[in-house]
Structure 1
């Protein structure tokens, strides 16, 4: 595979030293691999419930981190064109290396802010979001961006943890690791405590957009939303 097929989109972007996910990207990658739940099969069933995606179907993962879902979905559904976006350059580089090692020509990554996605309206077929709303400042703005970039009839899968202690532990460890290195306290852009949403707050957040259909589910550790954009909403 040519390196250009799966590379960081903008090499001119510099590492952002004010982020825990830059300095502790290795720790977050370990958590994503071994601690967080794998929802790959639930994502596949939710986004493509009737038949496999057609060739060239565009899937976007927001807050992709080390590229866990983007790579897994590209492997399981080779007809997808999967793109992962994240604000951490270090994690994007890890994700790119992961895809390259698996020779995934249908998987790419881009440094971008989920609050302002660099994609045209109605250009994406499916969106995956997992654990992103724990740390972002404008949750509603991200849901609005998801709705904007989805094509009419497109679907999104959102998974957010419900367990306070277990959810907050990785971020707390990252703060401790950061304090033991070179960064002075209070300089990171991430919050010190992950924002775990209640069921009513999660439902209210998802309902801020005029979805054609919406399904909410809960289990002991996660809450889920599977939303479909109206076919007439262009």
Structure 2
């Protein structure tokens, strides 16, 4: 059964989709993506999954940087997926495709991707352990999982910023690392990207 919070979030992001690239300014995401690229280690002809892809900004940049890359964007919001398909991401077809669905039940085969990205969306998951288990399942051995999100500044506590359909779950780096290890990952390290936004790199042994 779908978590009620997931349904609320889907409706929220559907409403945001048309103005998302304006509200969440190009400058903010460009800065994060630029810094993220400095830490990437991709195989030849990578097959990547962008979990919580929104309007497809990251995949568009990756396709520019890596001409042999094939990418799948996955997002809860049908409207976000529609925007991703209609915008400039069209120029990278058929290398990029966009699929709508719930991150707790990924419609992909075991070990289908050699790299998974998760940028500013992990904080939206009501069941993070379930999502991490799915990421682990679809990632091939030796593949990396790049988790980028806001960090809870308190080193010992996690927090839920509630009061709206956009309940946000923030974690200190130690808790983020623990969740990944419990799913089977090995944590390679943490890196500051922009203020409270941190990258954690996991690998599947």
On whether the aligned pair clears a TM of 0.5, the verdict is yes
Task: Name the residue aligned to 2:49.
Answer: 60
Output aligned runs, 1:99-118, within 5 Å.
99-118=88-107
> Which residue, out of 202, 207, 210, partners 2:181?
207
How far the C-alpha of 1:106 sits from its partner, in A, is 1.1
How far the C-alpha of 1:26 sits from its partner, in A, is 2.2
Q: Is the 8 A contact 2:147 2:201 kept in 1?
A: yes
Structure 2: which 5+ residue stretches go unaligned?
1-7, 154-159
Q: Deviations over 1:128-182 (max 9, x none)?
A: 0011122111111111111111111111110111379xxx99x99xx6xxxxxxx
State the TM-score, normalizing by the size of structure 2: 0.80
The root-mean-square deviation of aligned C-alpha atoms, in Å, is 2.9
Distance in 2, matches of 1:88 and 1:66, equals 10
How far the C-alpha of 1:201 sits from its partner, in A, is 2.4
Q: Does 1:229 align with 2:204?
A: yes
Task: Name the residue aligned to 1:26.
Answer: 18
Q: Is the 8 A contact 2:116 2:144 kept in 1?
A: yes
Structure 1: which 5+ residue stretches go unaligned?
1-15, 176-190
Output aligned runs, 1:13-162, within 5 Å.
19-34=11-26, 36-38=28-30, 39-48=32-41, 53-55=43-45, 57-162=46-151
State the TM-score, normalizing by the size of structure 1: 0.71
How far the C-alpha of 1:40 sits from its partner, in A, is 2.7
Distance in 2, matches of 1:206 and 1:86, equals 21
Distance change in 2, residues 1:86/1:206 (3 Å) = same
Aligned pair count reads 191
Distance change in 2, residues 1:120/1:98 (3 Å) = same
Structure 1 outlier segments of 4+, above 4 Å = none
Q: Is the 8 A contact 1:40 1:73 kept in 2?
A: no
SS at match of 1:210: coil
Structure number with larger C-alpha Rg:
1
Q: Is the 8 A contact 2:12 2:166 kept in 1?
A: no
How far the C-alpha of 1:78 sits from its partner, in A, is 1.3
Q: Is the 8 A contact 1:71 1:104 kept in 2?
A: no
User: Which shows bigger deviation, 71-80 or 22-31?
Assistant: 22-31
Distance in 1, matches of 2:145 and 2:34, equals 14
Distance change in 2, residues 1:194/1:22 (3 Å) = same
